[in-house]
Amino acid sequence: MDTYYKLDEWNIIEEGFDPDHHKASESIFSIGNGRFGQRANFEENYTGQSLQGNYIAGVYYPDKTRVGWWKNGYPEYFAKVLNAANWIGINIIINGQELDLHKCKIDSFKRILNMKEGFLERLFTATLENGNKIKVHVKRFISLADNQIAAIKYSITPINFDGEITFIPYIDVDIKNEDSNYDEKFWTEVEKESLLKEGYIIARTKKTKFHVCTGMVFNITQDHVSVDFSSESIEKKKCVANKTTIKCKKDQETVIYKYVANLTSEYHKKKKLLTKTKKCVKDAADIGFEILLNNQINAWKEKWKESDIIIEGDISAQQGIRFNIFQLNQTYTGDDPRLNIGPKGFTGEKYGGSTYWDTEAYCLPFYLSTADNNVARNLLKYRYNHLEKAIENAEKLGFTDNAALYPMVTMNGEECHNEWEITFEEIHRNGAMAYAIYNYINYTGDSSYLADYGLEVLIAISKFWAQRVNYSNNKKQYVILGVTGPNEYENNVNNNWYTNYIASWTLKYTLESIEFVKKSSPENYKRIVEKWNFNEAKEKEYWKDIIAKMYLPKDENLNIILQQDGYLDKEQNLTKDLDINIRPINQNWSWDKILRSVFIKQADVLQGIFLFEKDFDNETITRNFNFYEERTVHESSLSACIHSIIASKIGKQDKAYELYLQTARLDLDDYNKEVDEGCHITSMAGTWMSIVNGFGGIRVIDNKLHLNPYIPKQWKSYSFKIRFREHLLNIKVTKKALEIYNNSENHINISVKNQDIRINSEENLILSL
């Protein structure tokens, strides 16, 4: 754990510059708006260690798979969200000396991510090699109010000299991904144009042929007055720039404003991209930086109204949850069903920026409770729109009759993961797709989704499970062999309990859904049967037999669920006995040693208990939590939040709080020593769940909202807001009371600690705890 950043309720603050920490800070201080985003690279040239990153949602490249041994069914490529045009660039030359913080003396340095208002700020004083000393103040943001634009305000004040400042604002698309499989560049230039005070470049991705036009307009002021200047237009390979030299005086502030637009062929016709980009960026420049920033502040104010969590008495916990919510809100806005949430969001290249099962298992609950229903619905429609591709994925592995296997990693519905133990074995992801449909309908009451979209997906997934099981004559039960469960420190195991359980549950839920749609929407059911040639009678009897006879491993002596066959054959070591110097083990042990060890990367059995909590009594949950928690190393970002929620459920409040802090500050304190690669965006939704579902005890049971809250002893109070079926509830928990404000037009009936309560419209109800 690395406590590097200053504690603050609304800001992430870096005081002093440490080059060895720079790549990590580039991740932490990333900004975005759902359509594009960027790591916190410097505007001026920096020759030290850095991971350049500018990303545009949905724009990707199919990087050809690179493996030592090709296996039938392997994906041909790994989809990667591309490092796109570097639009922030402003090279600075002071009296002939280039500003480069890797080379000059840094006298002071401060970087601030203002999460409340949505902008990145940097202040520093530096002495160049020629002895010139300058004070610099930079602000930049990517607009939430207009998702095609961004703006930079770059201020320089000479401290000990008069002279000249040369500004070279540029757009550079001659870039590559650090994780490119074959060290190739993925962009080709289509068109470029460099004019006085402006520049534009259109680039096309290889193979996928997305077109992106990036444009800039800039102006300069001194002492708050616009400066007339001439500029030299520069055009190089895949780059446009302008060079302008301004005379400056000691203590005189010179500011360059750079306005940028990123437009793509996903939203505009290719022939009109340049024209539309010019208008967009010029309109932004005409509005001006301060008004655009004010619009940004107001847009974030509305976001925080929906999703803020307030914690009194624990600044570390407060900062942690707001950082997580901030990153979630700037990664996905839910207005386009073609987009999804990559595990790193806009903060880094790892995992390719593609979609994993994290979305359904972790992110969906956050957006269900903090945004309009259409946002969560679009996440589900993303998978519905990929159903035919999921069927193709299954066909490549030998499945038939429209069985569907959703991909572990995807951009367009095709599987594109390159590790065989994941691609072929981690099939539990299919269950997450089914559970998301259930979760959405259970929370929103929008049962129309089943007839419109959901049942088609459920039938296709159930067909997969029915073909993937086999009947064991030895056990007289159905088994699922050769899988990887959520715990990726186990590969090619037999009968992973979580996989078997969610497969059986999916079959059962699909049968229930068939009956519901047949009765509620017979025309839709007829359409589905004809579209997919579904033989109901044949499938139903087989599925019922699988449900009745599914093998679920357990140990009678310990009276626990068994993670998989043979798990207890391992040497039963505990995480408390591990030397801290070899943590995380995935960075210090061989894969062979990890696979033979008892240690668990992330919630596996407990993942299933979390999802299907109502199927188990508290004693069963407690026994399994006690057994598996002390063997779990939490080296997946998706782990600690699930354990925290379960710990809250069974009354282990200190443990729940400990695990909450780990998930909330996973990136800020770099628990797993990898934040330089990017932040863990999808797991941040798990942080939110740790408070709302964990400490707040929120559940939806039989169409009713249930609360069973408590407050960690470290806190004075906490409060959060949730949307539930046309109601907006403000919930506050203190040491002595629960306060619920129904900020809605209609009354709501809820359950608090198993007591039914009615809260009228605009009523503020206070209950003793």
Catalogue the active-site residues.
Answer: 488
Q: Tokens 């390979």 label which residue?
A: 237
**Adjacent-strand bridge partners of 81:** 60
Q: Which string of b and e fits 248-279 if b means at least 16 CB within 10 Å?
A: beeeeebbbbbbbbbbbbbebeeeebbebbbe
* Residues listed for the chain: 769
Phi–psi pair at 758, nearest 5 degrees: -105, 130
Q: CB-side exposure of 81: number of CA atoms within 13 Å?
A: 30
Find the helix or strand (DSSP H, E) in which 635 lies. none
State the virtual CA torsion across 370, 376, 378, 379 in degrees, nearest 10: 120
CB atoms within 10 A of CB 183: 8
Cα-only R_g, the chain: 27
Residues sharing a CB contact under 8 Å with residue 390, sequence separation 6 or more, in sequence order: 383, 404, 405, 406, 407, 413, 460
Find the helix or strand (DSSP H, E) in which 141 lies. strand 133-142
Question: Does residue 75 have a cis peptide bond before it, meaning omega lies within 30 degrees of 0?
Answer: no
CB atoms within 10 A of CB 493: 21
Return the SS3 of 173: coil
* Residue of 468, 449, 455, 495 lying closest to 403 (CA atoms): 468
Q: Tokens 């039963």 label which residue?
A: 572
**How are beta strands 211-222 and 254-264 bridged, if at all?**
antiparallel
* Residue of 360, 326, 322 lying closest to 341 (CA atoms): 360
Counting other chains too, the contacts that 590-595 makes at CB distance below 8 Å and 24 or more residues apart are: 594/489, 595/489, 595/490, 595/491
Written as six digits, the tokens of 135 are: 């004070």
Phi-psi category of 402—alpha, beta or left, where left has phi over 0 and alpha has psi -120 to 50? left
**Alpha-carbon gap, residue 713 to 43, rounded angstroms:** 44
What is residue 551's DSSP assignment?
A: -
- In the chain, what's the furthest Cα-to-Cα distance? 89
Written as six digits, the tokens of 658 are: 């400990």
Question: To 10 degrees, what angle do helices 497-520 and 522-532 make?
Answer: 130
What is the DSSP code string of 186-245? -EEEEEEEEETTEEEEEEEETTT--EEEEEEEEEEEETTEE-----EEEEETTEEEEEEE
Burial label, 658 (beta-carbon count in 10 A; 0-12, 13-18, 19+): middle
Written as six digits, the tokens of 662 are: 């780990």
**How are beta strands 748-752 and 704-707 bridged, if at all?**
parallel
- Which runs of consecutive H residues, i.e. helices, occur in 445-535? 448-449, 455-468, 497-520, 522-532
Going through 671-745 in order, the beta strands assigned E by DSSP cover 699-701, 704-707, 717-724, 727-734, 737-742
CA distances from residue 617 to 438, 620, 621, 623 in whole angstroms, order as listed: 21, 5, 6, 10
**Alpha-carbon gap, residue 165 to 207, rounded angstroms:** 42
